[in-house]
Amino acid sequence: MKLAIILDSSARPKYLQITEQIRSAILARQVLSGELLPPVRELAHQLSVGRMTVSRAYSELEQLGFIKSTIGSGSVVCEPSGSEFGRPILKSSEERGPFSSYEHTVSKSGIRSLATAVPDPMLFFGDELVTYLAELRDCDPWMFYSGETLGHAELGSAIQSIMSEKDCSVPLSQIVVTSGLENSIQAAILTLTKPEEIIFVQDPLHMNKPAELAQFIGRRIVNIRSEFEGFDLNNLETAIKRTKPRMFILSGGITTPFGKRLDEKQIQLMLELAEKYDFYLLELDTLGWLYFEGAKPKTLYQCDKFDRVIYCGSIDHMLTAGIRTGWICCPSDVVFRLEKYLLMSQVSGSPFIQLALGRYIQAGKLDAHCKRTLPEYRLRRDTMHRVISSSFPHECKWSRPEGGLTFWIQMPAQVNTRILAQKALGNGVMFCPGFRVSNQRDADQYLRLGFGLLKTEAIQHAVKKIGDIISLSLN
């Protein structure tokens, strides 16, 4: 077999170029399960590279599960096309929504996924955190009992340092540790609103989770459309006058999924509206730390002079999704109400995990992680933007994100992203169609591409494949 592999002269390692092009050929069924790949020596000669380069590419493919190499027998393709595994996964997620092991399951099937907006666990040095857990081996046995409802004091102090980096001075008494972003949202809704009260929710936002959660616990939802430029504040005030919301849930710092900073004028007007019409702003600042250029993003909480903002942060979105730790910053009277709810619902978090995490952060490990990973995410952002610019039809509309982990892209009117997602899946690629993130009538005209989990080589091939499918749909 002779593989059609073209190596370019860029700085990208040659073994990764070989890996991605063979992977693409397998997923596109140009190379079928059971076929034998060329011997290392033969392919190295064909591509004018060293044998170690090809050996490393084959090793990568074997680790991904695409081939099986045996001494004396060669390297055999053993992974079926991603679409055979992917269609049941997609069908399952359409019926019950995204599930916790979604990305792990998809990656095992060999599919390149641009569907989620989470940090790459491969960039997290878990052994560093485990070191701090191991140090607690001989700690007081009561550390393994229930802890303080509002969170361990050392983690609270560590969160103070995170907030100070955002130019926010927060008393320890106004910090509540939670079990992640969803726990923070639920706690805020249940303690600050009543059944049948109206909650405004930014749309699009976080896989529709805030809206679905609020509806699940008996609140009435009004979706407020957000664009690249932010909210239409005149229409927003009209809607506020008409419906009298008790809370407005929205993203802060770097807005999701647009990857844009909050406009300072909009921040001030939003705070004035909240004070004038007596409602809370529940600010979800998950990726405000991840900005690629310019000044540090401002938050609503940072500018709040009226005690209207309930700030929700997430360590999951800074390190990796399995950490399951978040926090709330809020006025003292709200802390008292949150404590009563948390005491009834979960008693406390895990004291020994919170203590280890607090020491990890105080030792500068979180800050080091962010500084180390930011250039990699910037490279992935730039790679995706370059390939979108060269591969997507000019009728598509998007803006290069200033931060965060996603591109939000508007398709031409004749392209339905639900159908597009099924076609992409047949080519071993997944993305997030608009209806998963938005409840707007035109949601099927949008898609979200996440660059958090794939390396640049995989991003190039996946985005180009989506661009080709869009072009075919238009033609």
Confidence (pLDDT) at 139: 84
Confidence (pLDDT) at 19: 87
Region of poorest pLDDT, from 53-67, 118-132, 361-375: 53-67
Instruction: Write the CB contacts of 10 (distance below 8 Å, at least 6 apart in sequence).
Output: none
* Contact indicator for 218, 369 with CB cutoff of 8 Å: no
Q: Among residues of the chain, what percentage have pLDDT more than 70?
A: 92
Confidence (pLDDT) at 235: 92
* Contact indicator for 200, 245 with CB cutoff of 8 Å: yes
CATH 3.40.640.10 region(s) of the chain?
A: 126-367
Q: What is the pLDDT of residues 155-170, one digit of tens each?
A: 999 999 999 999 999 9
Q: What is the pLDDT of residues 218-246, one digit of tens each?
A: 999 999 999 988 999 899 999 999 999 99
Average pLDDT of the chain, as a whole number:
89
Model confidence at 332, pLDDT cuts 50, 70, 90, reads very high
Checking if the pLDDT of 407 tops 90, the result is yes
Q: What is the pLDDT of residues 165-211, one digit of tens each?
A: 999 999 999 999 999 999 999 999 999 999 999 999 999 998 888 99
68: burial class by Cβ within 10 Å (0-12, 13-18, 19+)? middle
Region of poorest pLDDT, from 37-46, 82-91, 259-268, 346-355: 82-91
Q: Please tell me the distance from the alpha carbon of residue 290 to that of residue 123, in angstroms, as a whole number.
A: 14
Checking if the pLDDT of 90 tops 80, the result is no
Model confidence at 34, pLDDT cuts 50, 70, 90, reads confident
Model confidence at 140, pLDDT cuts 50, 70, 90, reads confident
- 14-77 — its CATH code? 1.10.10.10
Confidence (pLDDT) at 81: 44
* Contact indicator for 277, 243 with CB cutoff of 8 Å: no
Neighbours of 98 (CB within 10 A): 17
Closest C-alpha among 408, 437, 430, 449 to residue 90: 430
Model confidence at 100, pLDDT cuts 50, 70, 90, reads low
Confidence (pLDDT) at 83: 44
Q: Please tell me the distance from the alpha carbon of residue 319 to that of residue 287, in angstroms, as a whole number.
A: 11
What homologous superfamily is domain 82-124+372-474 in, according to CATH?
A: Aspartate Aminotransferase, domain 1 (3.90.1150.10)
| Tokens matching residue 184 | 């923070």
CATH 3.90.1150.10 region(s) of the chain?
A: 82-124+372-474
Calculate mean pLDDT across residues 138-162: 91
Q: Please tell me the distance from the alpha carbon of residue 350 to that of residue 346, in angstroms, as a whole number.
A: 10
Calculate mean pLDDT across residues 58-83: 78
Q: What is the 3-state secondary structure (H, E, C) of the chain?
A: CCCCCCCCCCCCCHHHHHHHHHHHHHHCCCCCCCCECCCHHHHHHHHCCCHHHHHHHHHHHHHHCCEEEECCCEEEECCCCHHHHHHHHHHHHHHHCCCCCHHHHHHHCCCEEECCCCCCHHHCCHHHHHHHHHCCCCCCHHHHCCCCCCCCHHHHHHHHHHHHHCCCCCCHHHEEEECCHHHHHHHHHHHHCCCCCEEEEEECCHHHHHHHHHHHCCCEEEEEECECCECCHHHHHHHHHHHCCCEEEEECCEECCCCEECCHHHHHHHHHHHHHHCCEEEEEECCCCCECCCCCCCCHHHHCCCCCEEEEEECCCCCCHHHCCEEEECCHHHHHHHHHHHHHHCCCCCHHHHHHHHHHHHCCHHHHHHHHHHHHHHHHHHHHHHHHHHHCCCCCECCCCCECCEEEEECCCCCCHHHHHHHHHCCCEEEEEHHHCCCCCCHHHEEEEECCCCCHHHHHHHHHHHHHHHHHHHC
CATH 1.10.10.10 region(s) of the chain?
A: 14-77
Q: Please tell me the distance from the alpha carbon of residue 94 to that of residue 140, in angstroms, as a whole number.
A: 47
| Tokens matching residue 465 | 């494949």
Q: In the CATH scheme, what architecture does the domain 126-367 have? A: 3-Layer(aba) Sandwich (3.40)
| Tokens matching residue 442 | 């035109």
Checking if the pLDDT of 82 tops 50, the result is no
Checking if the pLDDT of 451 tops 90, the result is yes
Sheet holding 247-251, edge to edge: 175-178, 326-329, 309-314, 280-285, 247-251, 198-203, 220-225
Calculate mean pLDDT across residues 338-361: 89
Confidence (pLDDT) at 70: 87
- More reliable by pLDDT, 22 or 285: 285
